[in-house]
Structure 1
């Protein structure tokens, strides 16, 4: 019986080639999109699951109250980690202090590379359950050791055994390789870590870190921990909640105590997907994109199923006699339903195979756009169970209405020729077409809004010139110690026009300070400033734009205690005439000599933070250079590299252009926009396939009507308008539904950004025009073809 069903299903597929092609093409694309999104969602939901103890690993974080607003941060002071290790180890299996994952120079012989890694306490490898390829997890107990990722070990040593080889970190530390671990996956919070080095080595070699080891107010590090087997995260968080507040008050840090710090534990399973906090409460994160793309995947697949249902029911009259004959010769309704479901499942089977091919072909592009390393899970049984289940479900959903509808025909009426589908038979098809285009138009409007928001933020004034501005983050003090010689040599070579140093690059803020006093400061007001140490020529190098006052001057000895502030700082302090005002910090007075336009150094979607620039007395870690616009970038970089390698031979010349680093701030939104635009185009493609099939069927159905109208004098234009009008009406209904829907969701999305664009009326007008144009182009081919047909052919049988 099954074999017979399949034979008939195959014959019907071959007989209606165009119909079958449209169904298989639409379903293939829909399934491929759903699979790609499914792989992406799986990758996101399995974030950090690589670590065996991920359910017990936490990060120690803190809430701080700033002028009534609760701010959440991951940065912690060293004494907090030491206190947890000393007094609360009954609640923890491990407590680990760590630096941030930063760039360091790893050198071996003549080889030197800039690599990202952490200085961390010895328990980190055990806590993360690193998969060791050689050596042991206990390697960091040696204070002069290093553990390498498999990729870095291969880069440095090739196929040779790396264990006990001696490397150098930042040309300062000689360390011995004690272990090689498997590269951590891209969907983990530690994906950039290529080496781990001992925390004790870091502390012993950095005097400022040693001083910070007793300062509860210096939040510059990370603390990770693994809970004890029977410990409850909420109870432990409650227990350690006031640890910092009590100790910072005891230390006499009144400013720090005013922020009312509250320590809490945040589980690893939430680090990635639930990373956004607002006023001390988790408000979301990438989980919103997981939901968004998941819903898009379901809808795109649904669009393909709608095509199948529409085309199958539209062709019901052609199969009415077949149903009538089958019933007359004894077929029962359940057999007919099975037959139609079998046809549906056969189409789905072909579509499923083609969708796998499409996914394999699209993955390289998709990975590039999504910044992932996804692959088809060929050997994962759950992948096949899930995709096959969804495919069968899609086949059953797509075939359900045709099967139930076609099998319900009355055989007597059909065979007597009195069967009519009825005036309301087309309503379900029209409803489904409206659903299709509602989804497609909503996606298009959403995509336009996303890209407009990105462009809006990109066009925001940045307060300095990015053209030809690059910076080099120094890992050694060689450039700083020879700064004047490096600068003079580069100026003489005409490679640059300016050079300066700073303690943060122009695209980031690395330091914040509080506890400032100024004239008119309200009692009880809390302050927090971005504080950036710079050299005298920093303003000329980056292109400061002054609103008031002047730049730092080497000719004035008093400028060593002067500061330049931005507009946000002047506004925050409510200073009408800030130049000449005196600020006090840690018992020292500093004088405001200039006010610059706000420099956009952090998020382009957030307000610029109040910032203080001062002349740095310590070694600055960032060298900023302005390339000579009259020299090609390639030649200028070549000259700069030679000078840097001359004065810092142990460090690779790693530079970053300010405009490239600024562009990276839009990466996430750009990825979302690109993916959404592709899915929107595919949704339109699937919908248009359905329209094309419907238009073909309608033209066939109305062949004789068109012939009669042509004989009576109807023009080609009149016939085209007649056949196209129904579809245009459906699209207009879709637009009426989609526009407010898209506005509601996208306005909510935009509210997540403090600095955002508005949703303009022209977006809806342009999208409406595009949707109607696409519809007309889709149906016009069949409409015009039918209108141009010789009426003699369509009427000769009458």
Structure 2
């Protein structure tokens, strides 16, 4: 019986090729979008799936309150390790101290590389469940050891066995390779861990790390934990919540709250606001999931509309079948079989579309998604997907068409009914409501991105590069390198800084100043810079003066930004002192000599943070900032800079970043969302237009004789076009009135996540309405004008 259903379904598809092409094409597009989004969502939800026990792994987080505002993050003080081990050690299978991810230089023979990784305590590789390819699992046992990822080992040693060989690290230490581990896949938190070095080496090589053993206020470290088998994440979090506040009076005023942040929430739920978890990338998962569902729904609506619109053509078939004994259930199965066949063909085409577009999609979304050929779960999900789509698309037409009375149909008295077209009109309204809402949403997303992009940056990022200086080889050589670079004619100015131009790496407090409010808890972005910092960035001095090498006292001078001036409550800050409030071992006071224009160093969607720029007395920078010669090409300048660099640092790889590119990365996530949303919106509109095109074609065919009579009686092409178009335009206008308040409500809620945000202008909604109407007119006009220009003789000669 089922074979017979499919045979009849096939014949109907062949009989109406245009109708079938629109149906299959629309469904294929909708299913392709849904498949792509589904693969993207699965990739997002499977983040950190490399770690088999991720439900037991967590990072220690800390919330602190400054003047009523609570900030939350993973930065913790070193003494917390001992407190957790001594007081709560039974709750943890592993407790690992770790550095931040660092870029270090690795050298073997003539090969120099820059790679990122971490210093970790001995059990770190076991906590990360690394797959050891060569060497020993306990690879961090010796202080002078290093573990390498496979890709890093291959790059350094080629085909040679790396175990036991010595790597020169940042031209400072010789470390022996004790293990090589499989690279952690891209969609995991530690995928950029190219090396792991023992924590003991971190202590031995850095005095400030050793000195931090008892410094509760120095939040410069990370702790990762793996819970004991019988421990519960929430219970342990509650136990350790007040451990820092209880053990250290100096930081108790900030109400530090310690808790465990589970690995399975790091990626999708990593945003905190005033100490509370407020989501994160999960909003994009929901967004694209909803878009995928609606795009598929639009394609299903096309199928429903075209199937029911052709009801009168199928009426006699239904009447004859019923008169010879077919039951309604059999007719429903027949129409569902047709739907199933259409969906199967659409799925095959959709799969081909996905295969052809997957590389481009990966490039846009910055993913490495592959088509899951070998996944049984995927094919089972696809079968369920096909069945559900066939059921959704075919249920209404099946129920509607199978309800015809055979007596009325065969007597020729069958009428579709006064309200027979109402469901189709409702579905068209739904289609264009979704499409118009998508248009409005996409425009507002792009507006928000451009709003932040057009925000004054505060410095000149064009032609500015930053060169990392992560080695003691650079210490004491700033003046020499500045002279060399300036003399090369490739650089017009140079400075050094302790943080990259587009980041804040350090925050400090513990100062007093004249007029400081009682109980005020300061939190200042802290950057140590050379005297030429403002000049190299073209920072504008709005009050006072810049650093000067002519004044020896400037070694204890600072610049502050405009936000810091307001934050510190200083109307006339020039000459004011920032004093260390540590009475036992105070640092010399810092004198404010100038105020610089605010520069964006964090998110361009957030307010600028209060910052101070301190003269770097010890020439211990992390970056050189080079202003390239604008009268020469960038490639020519870079080649000269690299040559000069290599003359002085032959054992260190030359790496650099254009600051404007680094700044552009701050918009990358939103731009990807905006671009993908725009593509999906265009496809949604195309699917809606396909349905509208099919409906217009059918209506024109249905009213062929009426159009012929009107033409004979003197109707113009415009009259006929107006007759066929006005009903569809009315439906689209209704859609616009529904879509506008819905999209306003949703996008207004989305914009609330951005303190620095665009205002939704009225023209955005007008543009969406005009666009929808224009698309409708273009779609309908083709068939309407074609019908209006047809020879009326051809339609009337059978009468």
TM-score category, normalised to shorter length: over 0.9
2:272 corresponds to which of 255, 277, 286: 277
Equivalence for 1:505? 500
Whether 1:491 and 2:482 are equivalent positions in the alignment is: no
Deviation at 1:381, TM superposition (A): 1.2
Q: For the Cα contact (< 8 Å) 2:146–2:197, is it kept in 1? A: yes
From 395, 409, 418, give the equivalent of 2:413.
418
Residues 80-124 of structure 1 deviation map (CA, whole Å, 9 limit, x = unaligned) = 123323332211000001111121111111111111111111111
1:661-680 map, 5 Å: 661-680=662-681
Q: Deviations over 1:540-574 (max 9, x none)?
A: 11111111110011111111111111000100011
2:627 aligns to what SS in structure 1?
strand
Q: Give secondary structure in 1 for the equivalent of 2:613.
A: strand
Aligned to 2:597: 597
- Distance apart, 1:779 and its partner CA: 1.1
Count of aligned residue pairs for this structure pair: 793
User: Where does the alignment leave 5 or more consecutive residues of structure 2 unmatched?
Assistant: none
Secondary structure at the aligned position of 1:117 is classed as: strand
After TM superposition, list the pairs within 5 Å mapping 1:492-641 onto structure 2.
Answer: 492-585=487-580, 586=582, 587=586, 588-618=588-618, 619-641=620-642
Secondary structure (helix, strand or coil) at the match of 1:140 reads coil
TM-aligned CA deviation for residue 246 of structure 1: 2.6
Of 455, 458, 466, 1:463 maps to 458
Tell me which moved more, 64-73 or 700-709.
64-73
Aligned equivalent of 1:60: 60
Matched with 2:741 is 740
Unaligned runs of 5+ in 1: none
| 1:748-763 to 2 correspondences below 5 Å | 748-763=749-764
* Residue 161 (structure 1) shift: 2.0
CA distance in 2, matches of 1:633, 1:214: 48
Task: Give matches, 1:671-690, under 5 Å.
Answer: 671-690=672-691
Query: Is the aligned partner of 1:691 residue 2:686?
Result: no
Distance (whole Å) between structure 1 residues aligned to residue 427 and residue 527 of structure 2: 59
Structure 2: distance between partners of 1:790 and 1:755: 61
Indicate whether 1:372 and 2:367 are aligned. Answer: yes
Answer whether contact 1:547 1:597 (CA < 8 A) is retained: yes
Residue 555 of structure 1 aligns to a residue whose secondary structure is coil
Farther-moved stretch of structure 1 (132-141 vs 783-792): 132-141
Q: Tell me what 2:468 maps to.
A: 473
Distance, in Å, in 1 between the alignment partners of 2:682 and 2:141 is 55
Bigger mean CA offset, 22-31 vs 128-137: 128-137
- Does the 8 Å contact 2:692/2:779 carry over to 1? yes
Structure 2 match to 1:777:
778
CA-to-partner distance for each residue in 1:634-689, whole Å, 9 max, x for gaps?
11111100111111111111001110000000111011101111110110011111
1:248, CA displacement in angstroms?
A: 2.5
TM-score (structure 1 length as normaliser): 0.98
- Secondary structure of residue in 2 paired with 1:420: coil
How much does 1:162 deviate? 1.9
Residue by residue over 1:570-615, the C-alpha shift from the partner in whole angstroms, topping out at 9 and shown as x without a partner, is 0001111111222212433221111111011111111111111111
Partner of 1:166: 166
- Contact kept, 8 Å, 1:479 with 1:647, in 2: the verdict is no
User: Offset at 1:494?
Assistant: 1.1
Provide, for residues 125-182 of structure 1, a one-character-per-residue CA deviation record: whole Å limited to 9, x for no partner.
Answer: 1111111222232111121111111211222223332221211211112111111111
CA contact (8 A) 2:171 2:473 kept: no
Q: Specify the SS of the correspondent of 1:331.
A: coil
For the aligned residue pairs, the C-alpha RMSD in angstroms reads 1.1
Are 2:32 and 1:37 aligned?
A: no
Given the alignment, which residue of 434, 438, 445 partners 1:443?
438
What does residue 232 of structure 1 align with? 232
Distance 1:65 1:163 in 2: 48
2:148: which partner in 1?
148
In structure 2, what is the equivalent of residue 85 of structure 1? 85
- The alpha carbon displacement at 1:20 in A equals 0.6
Contact 1:217–1:248 (CA under 8 A) maintained in structure 2? no
Secondary structure of the structure 1 residue equivalent to 2:65 = strand
Q: State TM-score, norm by structure 2.
A: 0.98
For residue 519 of structure 1, report the CA deviation from its aligned partner.
1.2
* C-alpha displacement of 1:404: 0.9
Maintained 8 Å contact 2:467/2:623 = yes
How far does the alpha carbon of each residue in 1:225-255 deviate from its partner, in whole angstroms, 9 at most, with x for none?
A: 0111111222222222222123322xxxx3x
CA contact (8 A) 1:70 1:280 kept: yes
Whether the 8 Å contact between 2:172 and 2:472 is mirrored in structure 1 is no
Could you tell me which residue of structure 2 aligns to residue 7 of structure 1?
A: 7
Which residue of 2 is the match for residue 709 of structure 1? Answer: 710
Aligned partner of 1:24 in structure 2 is 24
Shift of 1:479: 3.5
How much has 1:624 moved relative to structure 2? 0.4
Contact 1:24–1:350, Cα closer than 8 Å, also in 2? yes
Secondary structure of the residue that 1:374 maps to in structure 2?
Answer: coil
Match for residue 392 of structure 1?
Answer: 387
Moved more, 558-567 or 484-493: 484-493
Partner Cα separation in structure 2 for residue 55 and residue 491 of structure 1: 54
| In structure 1, distance between residues paired with 2:58 and 2:789 | 72
Match of 2:157 in 1: 157
Secondary structure class of the residue paired with 2:612: strand
Once the two structures are TM-superposed, the CA of residue 357 in structure 1 deviates from its matched residue by: 1.0
Structure 1 position 379, deviation (Å) = 1.4
The reply on whether 1:793 has 2:788 as its aligned counterpart is no
- Aligned equivalents of 1:759 and 1:110: distance in 2? 58
State the distance in 1 between where 2:475 and 2:483 align.
13
